[in-house]
């Protein structure tokens, strides 16, 4: 019997990715009055990609980035590092919500991923990329047919995916739980997210973008044709503002109607020995996931640790965020148990790190956009669990909006129309917790959604991580 409590208690409560050397110097906080052409609020991937793209496009533009904590403090350094082409949280979700635009969205997603890779190469960012693709495994009988259908749909849309039967799946990686798989060869690249965030931050600084860390923005007020962005000890007068605070959904109140923070939990193992690696047979080093509604995602690091995350997606009443939402260890203990069910051959392996992070999700599980103050302010948020790649595109859309540019991107229904808002509290908490329970029940019941989930599906809304 594996003592998951002890295993989790022994893991360091820290994010593995940022628990390594190479973080940029912390920038001084905003004090006094400043002026900028563009202020970006939040320095996760959305904020950093917005700053980089805006500055490269117009080197004369004065850009200030205000971050409540430090570069990449949020989801951007806490994630699994699956950098995927999909802008829509997967093909099926894209087809369900934006069928008319799907080929454009697929093409834009592929181009976005290619441009991420070329930018990282061009700027010499050591993002430790592994261009390995991704396999999703069926671990319950009902998931086999789902995966077969998924492979057919993806192939019809020109994606380079292949269905793996049980034997072929277990040749790729050996787990007694695998019943089938779908290998997506080109749709995902594995990265070290902290190295990417830190590299983007340095590249922006070299181009002259000005950063202020520990500078939480409290309010944005219009004054004539400008916006006053106010922190605790200083303020910036700006022509344009991009809000890139994702799950925090602040200081722009409207974001809170559409974006809720969901806490996702991650464990990192100690490095595997050569014998342990051989017992897995994971030679292709692909990113992996299972096909449950509540699913795990996992991958190898450069030094052969396994990052293992997902499954529980915890919402805390009132859009609550912060360390109190990261601390409880039940979700970690649960996924530690799942880890050894998946890889019993690794019994005895320890976890070195455990952490949690906030995913900003919408009722359509993909990014949504808004503007305010005569379009002098734009926001992009809500990528759900697929924002590592999509945030660069989201930043591009926010720049189009704030600069008043009509582009192929701003014409998309996904950009023009907002998802259904979440209800206000206390109903929000009740609906989300009830829906979570129903998702769990569907997984126990052969993947079949009950009446509540079918009703939500009918209205084109739901809850996911
Ligand atoms: C555990 C976990 C695993 C994930 N795994 C993956 C994955 O493998 N692949 C994938 O594609 N996606 C994944 N995601 C999602 C992905 O990480 C996010 O979608 C993406 O990083 C969002 O970037 P962002 O810049 O929009 O938000 P964030 O990185 O969260 O940045 C928002 C920033 O805004 C700052 N901020 C908030 N309020 C204020 C304020 N008032 N003033 C100033 N600053 C403020 C915050 O401090 C934060 O730094 C995962 C997320 C989590 C949490």
Write the pLDDT tens digit of every residue in 176-235. Answer: 999 999 999 988 999 999 999 999 999 999 999 999 999 999 999 999 999 999 999 999
The model's confidence at residue 458, banded by pLDDT at 50, 70 and 90, is confident
Residue 339: strand, helix, or coil:
helix
- pLDDT for the residue 85: 95
For residue 463, pLDDT over 90 is answered with: no
450 falls in which pLDDT band (50, 70, 90)? confident
- Domain map (residue ranges) of the chain: 4-13+130-184+261-359, 427-458
What is the predicted pLDDT for the residue at 293?
Answer: 87
Mutate to test the pocket of ligand 1, among 198, 248, 356, 380 (most ligand atoms within 8 A of CB): 248
What confidence score (pLDDT) does residue 45 get?
A: 98
Residue 58 binned pLDDT confidence (cut-offs 50, 70, 90): very high
DSSP 3-state of 122: helix
| Residue count (the chain) | 465
What pairing do the DSSP bridges indicate for beta strands 234-243 and 226-230?
A: antiparallel
270 alpha carbon to ligand 1 midpoint, in Å?
A: 25
Say what the pLDDT of residue 436 is. Answer: 87
Rounded Cα gap, residues 129 and 193, in angstroms:
10
CB distance 86 to 235 below 8 Å: no
Choice among 37-51, 130-144, 337-351, 430-444 with the minimum mean pLDDT: 430-444
The best mutation among 246, 259, 307 to test binding of ligand 1, ranked by most ligand atoms within 8 Å of the C-beta, falls on 246
How many whole angstroms from 182 Cα to the centroid of ligand 1?
28
Ligand 1 pocket check for 94: Cβ under 6 Å: no
CATH topology of domain 4-13+130-184+261-359: D-Amino Acid Oxidase; Chain A, domain 2 (3.30.9)
pLDDT at 383: 97
Encoding tokens for residue 282? 């994971």
CA distance 329 to 5: 8
- pLDDT category of residue 462 using cuts at 50, 70 and 90: confident
* pLDDT of 461 strictly over 80: no
Q: Is residue 316 a contact partner of residue 263, using CB atoms and an 8 Å limit?
A: yes
Q: Choose one of 27, 30, 40, 44 to mutate for the ligand 1 pocket test, by most ligand atoms within 8 angstroms of C-beta.
A: 44
Closest to 395 measured CA to CA, from 385, 406, 409: 409
Res 19 pLDDT > 80: yes
List C-alpha distances in Å: 293 to 216, 242, 243, 282, 436.
35, 33, 31, 24, 10
- Examine residue 167 and say whether the peptide bond preceding it is cis (omega within 30 degrees of 0): no
Q: How far apart are CA 33 and CA 41, in angstroms?
A: 16
Q: Which atom of ligand 1 is the closest one to the Cα of 45?
A: 25
Q: Is the pLDDT of residue 464 over 80?
A: no
Residue 328, pLDDT above cutoff 80: no
Ligand 1 atom with minimal separation from the 69 CA: 47
Whole-model pTM: value is 0.96
Q: Binning pLDDT at 50, 70 and 90, where does residue 300 land?
A: very high
Residue in this structure with the two tokens 């991009």, named with its chain if needed: 242
User: Ligand 1 pocket: which of 79, 83, 323 to mutate (most atoms <8 Å of CB)?
Assistant: 79
Is the link from the previous residue into 409 a cis peptide, with omega within 30 of 0? no
Question: Looking at the predicted structure, is the pLDDT value of residue 427 above 80?
Answer: yes
pLDDT digits (tens, 9 = 90+) for 381-396: 999 999 999 999 999 9
331 lines ligand 1 (CB under 6 A): no
Whether 247 lines ligand 1, by a CB cut-off of 6 Å, is: yes
What would the 3-class secondary structure string for 358-376 be?
Answer: EEEECCCCCCEEEEECCCC
| Radius of gyration, CA atoms only, the chain | 21
Is residue 256 within 6 Å of ligand 1 at its C-beta?
Answer: no
Token pair in block for residue 65: 């980035």
Model pLDDT, residue 420: 94
Q: Whose CA is nearest to atom 19 of ligand 1?
A: 387
With a cut of 80, say whether residue 429 has pLDDT above it.
yes
Residue 346 and residue 265: Cα distance in Å, rounded?
Answer: 20
Average pLDDT over residues 254-279: 97
Q: Is 73 in the pocket of ligand 1 (CB under 6 A)?
A: yes
pLDDT at 5 over 90: yes
The CA distance from 412 to 222, in Å, is 28
Cα angle: 164, vertex 342, 153; to 5 degrees: 30
Residue 349 corresponds to which tokens in the numbers above? 């392996």
Please name the helix (run of DSSP H) or strand (run of DSSP E) that holds residue 377, with its range, or none.
strand 377-381
pLDDT bracket for residue 159 (50, 70, 90)? very high
Say if ligand 1 is within 6 A of residue 216 CB.
yes
Q: DSSP for 425-459?
A: TTHHHHHHHHHHHHHHHHHHTTT---HHHHHHHHT
DSSP state of 98: -
């Amino acid at each position: 019997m594996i003592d998951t409590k002890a295993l989790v208690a022994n893991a360091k409560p820290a994010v593995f990715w940022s628990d390594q050397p190479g973080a940029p110097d912390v920038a001084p906080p905003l004090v006094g009055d400043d002026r900028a052409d563009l202020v970006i609020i939040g320095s996760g991937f959305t904020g950093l990609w917005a700053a980089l793209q805006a500055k490269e496009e117009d080197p004369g533009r004065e850009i200030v980035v205000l971050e409540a904590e430090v570069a990449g403090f949020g989801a951007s350094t806490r994630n699994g590092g699956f950098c995927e082409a999909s802008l829509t949280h997967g093909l099926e979700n894209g087809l369900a919500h934006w069928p008319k635009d799907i080929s454009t969205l697929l093409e834009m997603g592929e181009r976005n991923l290619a441009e991420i890779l070329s930018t990282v190469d061009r700027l010499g960012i050591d993002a430790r990329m592994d261009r390995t693709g991704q396999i999703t495994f069926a671990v319950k009988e009902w998931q086999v047919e789902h995966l077969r259908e998924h492979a057919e749909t993806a192939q019809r849309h020109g994606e380079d995916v292949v269905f793996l039967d049980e034997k072929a799946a277990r040749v790729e990686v050996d787990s007694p739980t695998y019943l089938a798989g779908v290998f997506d060869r080109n749709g995902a690249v594995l990265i070290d997210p902290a190295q990417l965030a830190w590299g983007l931050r340095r590249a922006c600084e070299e181009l002259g973008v000005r950063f202020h860390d520990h500078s939480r923005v409290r309010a944005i007020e219009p004054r004539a044709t400008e916006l006053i962005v106010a922190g605790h000890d200083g303020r910036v007068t700006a022509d344009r503002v991009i809000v890139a605070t994702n799950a925090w959904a602040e200081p722009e109140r409207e974001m809170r109607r559409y974006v809720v923070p969901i806490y996702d939990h991650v464990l990192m193992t100690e490095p595997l020995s050569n014998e342990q690696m051989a017992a897995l047979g994971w030679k292709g080093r692909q990113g992996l996931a299972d096909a449950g509604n509540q699913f795990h995602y996992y991958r190898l690091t450069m030094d052969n640790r396994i990052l293992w995350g997902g499954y529980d997606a915890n919402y805390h009443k009132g859009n609550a965020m912060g360390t109190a939402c990261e601390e409880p260890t039940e979700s970690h203990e649960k996924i530690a148990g799942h880890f050894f069910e998946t890889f019993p051959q690794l019994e005895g392996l320890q976890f070195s790190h455990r952490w949690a992070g906030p995913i900003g999700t919408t009722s359509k599980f993909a990014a949504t956009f808004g503007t305010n103050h005569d379009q002098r302010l734009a926001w992009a948020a809500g990528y759900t669990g697929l924002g590592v790649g999509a945030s660069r595109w989201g930043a591009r859309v926010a720049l189009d909006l704030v600069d008043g540019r009509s582009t192929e991107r701003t014409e998309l229904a996904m950009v023009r129309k907002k998802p259904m808002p979440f209800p206000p509290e206390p109903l929000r908490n009740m609906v989300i917790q009830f829906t979570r329970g129903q998702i769990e029940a569907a997984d126990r019941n052969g993947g079949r959604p009950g009446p509540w989930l079918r009703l939500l599906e009918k209205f084109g809304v739901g809850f996911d991580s």
